[in-house]
Amino acid sequence: MENTPSPIEQLRAQVRQLWEELSPAERSVCHYLISASPEQILFASAQELGSATGTSNATVVRTMQRLGFGGLPGLKRALAAEFTSAVAPDIRLKQRISHVGQDLSGIWERVFDEARERIEHCSRLLDAEAFKKAVELLVNAPGVFVYGAGASEPAAHHLALKLNRRGHRARAVSATGFTLADDLLGLAHGEALVIFQPARRLKEITVLIDRAHAVGAGIVLISDELVGPFADRVDAVLAAPHTPTGITAEPLTGIIVADALLLALDSLDESRSVEHSHQLSALREQLLGPRPTGR
């Protein structure tokens, strides 16, 4: 059986195939990419690659799209998959620290550069039909079961909290192993199951989907992989690209996707959202008590 080519080998093959169609600026970007190490590409921003190739960050992004990666984050994700499986976490951390150096303003820019790249990449991966289906499942569901374990837990809790504030009954679950069974008993027919899929594969995701099918619950998967192993077993898949470097938090894009779902729900059921917002404000006022009056 032939070995699957590495991401770098795939990149070089794609460059060879498209070379005659590329502009001089795009060729400059490609020449740098095929000669650089995976680590150099992984930790570089589009602006840095533009400077290194005498082009611009827009040219770098356009070149990545021409090569079939959807943008620089797409190439980084492909490189990161092999890099993280071959290099121990402590070594990756050392390399990350070494690459960013001790320039504090540079570190600040590095974090915002990656966050911006991930968010823009996430926006480009929108599947309008999948988004519509996900919103329909949530707005019509008598209850929402939101699952997120490990690094995905903050996004799950964020979505469940905001759903409840809008009058949609929701609960966030992050249990793994045997303790998840108790939560699964509560998943009911007609409810919506929203799964924030973490970077590592969990058996719990398979069990969650099996249980949803068994009881007749709709399933929304928010994942780094649009065509992963669960894509054909759920009702809607929404893209939330993970960090390729570890510089920004894994749940960043998941939280933004959750916010998009919440705003869509507000637009479809404005009266419920407004009424529950009013009730929430009233309850907060009661808890704060009367304001002190000035003398």
- Model pLDDT for residues 192-220, shown as the tens digit of each residue: 999 999 877 889 999 999 999 999 999 99
Instruction: Report d(CA 157, CA 254) in Å as an integer.
Output: 11
Q: What is the pLDDT of residue 10?
A: 82
Looking at the structure, do residues 143 and 201 belong to the same domain, yes or no? yes
Q: Which CATH number belongs to the domain containing residue 108 in this structure?
A: 1.10.10.10
Please tell me whether residues 140 and 28 are part of one structural domain.
no
Q: Is residue 88 over pLDDT 80?
A: no
The answer to the question of residue 213 being in a domain is yes
Report which of residues 8 and 291 the model is more confident about: 8
169 and 57 in one domain? no
What pTM value is reported for the model? 0.78
Where is the domain boundary, 124, 157, 184?
Answer: 124
pLDDT class of 1 with cuts at 50, 70, 90: very low
23 Ramachandran zone, left/alpha/beta (phi>0; psi -120 to 50): beta
Which of the 8 DSSP states describes residue 226?
T
Please check whether residue 188 lies inside any domain of the structure.
yes
Phi then psi dihedrals of residue 31, to 5 deg: -60, -40
Q: How far is the CA of 82 from the CAs of 99, 122, 262, 291, in angstroms?
A: 19, 21, 35, 58
| 292 assigned to some structural domain | no
Q: Which domain holds residue 228?
A: 128-284
- The conformational region for residue 137 under phi > 0 = left, psi -120 to 50 = alpha, else beta, is alpha
Q: Judge if 67 and 46 occupy the same domain.
A: yes
